[in-house]
Amino acid sequence: MEEVDRHIKKINTEYAKKRNRLKIGKKVLLVDSGYTKEILQSYQKANLDVRFVKNVPHFATIMQIYDNKVSYVTLEEKRMIGVIIQDPNIYSMHKILFENMWENAKNNN
């Protein structure tokens, strides 16, 4: 959340508006931190389900899993890069790992 808020806040806001308009749901795993919870107070939460994970290091990379694809975006001041991999095997593996983490993550409530 920190990197998104710092580097692509406007893009993310527009993306969230479009996703909400189209009623596309999204599950998000976030690092359980004061900063993340503070940012979420003003975040558009329609069609968004959030859970928190503890004891993980800070990552500057975002991963999204959708439509048989896995995307990675690194948001660092000196190095921003994005990669999309479209492969059913990679997609399935990441989706299973995500769902496993999701089941073990702390609910937002």
The 10s digit of each residue's pLDDT in 43-95 is 767 788 899 998 888 788 999 999 999 999 999 888 899 999 999 999 999 99
Give the chain's domains with CATH numbers: 2-107 (3.30.870.10)
pLDDT-based confidence at 101, cuts 50/70/90?
A: very high
Helix (H) or strand (E) holding 67: none
> Per-residue pLDDT tens for 20-30?
899 989 999 98
Cα gap 59→39, rounded to integer Å: 17
Whether the model clears a pTM of 0.85, i.e. scores above it, the answer is no
Q: Cα(109)–Cα(98) distance, rounded to whole angstroms?
A: 20
Give the per-residue pLDDT at 61.
Answer: 92
Cβ neighbour number for residue 1 with a 10 Å cutoff = 19
